[in-house]
Amino acid sequence: MVVETLGVILKRSAYQEDRVLLDLFTECYGKITVLVNRSHKSKYSDQIFQLGKWHLKEGKVFYFSDDYDSVQSSAIQGLNIWSGYYLNELLVRLLPKHHADSALFTHYWRAVKALEFGDSILQEWMLRCFERTLLESLGVMPDLWSDNDGDAFVENLLYHLCAENGFSKFKTKSHHFPILGENILLINNITDNNDHALINKELLLIYKRMMRYLLQPLLGHQPLQSKVWLQTLYLKQQEREKRSSL
């Protein structure tokens, strides 16, 4: 039986001389592995960060691609492409196979599209929204509506976020992330009302550090390759700028 779903290629892997494996993130079936004949590979070779409708047949181990229709293209340029690779790497490493979540798929595609534009503040915000939705989908995102006593957040109170226990009014001995109640309330206010005018660089930095803190236990000690490569490229760019200024 042929099934249809929207999907984006996350990663390609060599399999056999005449076949290639694709890690596909789909709206209806979550993350799946698709086996494609190399003779058809040219049809998909440029499809990372492209939204398509996939016609698939399910096998015992892999899905098989029956047909493909392009739906919407994406044109991420420059260093932003590494932020796109970061999204893909998070899904490859953290999302279980066949874990379907249409909200996560939507936030992923919104983040990809945001990376096409020059608004760096909006790009950062959409990356954080994706990370939050991913953690919610995995069932490990702390409650951002109340602290671990069930009380609403107070603006001028400093909270201590623990990945295992959520937000506490009191500092604990375990490793934690400190954050003011006003910043938690502002993050939720922007999310609820989609009011991007309230976003500022200071809040984005706090949000980014908070999400890194929450993601770290899941990622372990193995670094994200997308971040390693981005840092390498950034250092090389700095070196070129120094040489050109001499």
End-to-end CA distance of the chain: 65
Tell me, yes or no, whether 122 and 184 share the same domain: yes
Residue 51 belongs to domain with CATH number: 2.40.50.140
Residue-by-residue pLDDT tens, the chain, 246 positions: 889 999 999 988 888 777 888 999 999 999 999 998 866 555 665 578 889 999 999 998 899 987 888 898 888 988 899 899 999 999 999 999 999 999 999 999 999 999 998 899 999 999 999 999 999 999 999 999 999 999 999 999 999 999 888 999 998 777 899 999 999 999 999 999 889 999 999 999 999 999 999 999 999 988 888 877 766 766 666 666 566 665
Tell me, yes or no, whether 27 and 97 share the same domain: no
User: What CA–CA distance (Å, rounded) separates 22 from 12?
Assistant: 5
Domain-located, residue 244: no
What tokens does 203 get? 């809040």
Residue 91, number of CB atoms within 10 A of its CB: 22
Choose among 116, 133, 125, 143: nearest CA to 198: 125
**85-144 pLDDT, tens digit each:** 999 999 999 999 999 999 999 999 999 999 998 899 999 999 999 999 999 999 999 999
Tell me, yes or no, whether 99 and 221 share the same domain: yes
pTM of the full predicted structure?
Answer: 0.89
Q: Number of structural domains, the chain?
A: 2
- How many CA atoms are closer than 13 Å to the CA of 140, on its beta-carbon side? 17
**Structure confidence at residue 179 (pLDDT):** 97
**Structure confidence at residue 41 (pLDDT):** 54
Domain extent at residue 8: 2-72
3-state secondary structure (DSSP) of residue 169 = coil
Tell me, yes or no, whether 109 and 220 share the same domain: yes
3-state secondary structure (DSSP) of residue 31 = strand
Tell me, yes or no, whether 179 and 114 share the same domain: yes
Tell me, yes or no, whether 131 and 12 share the same domain: no
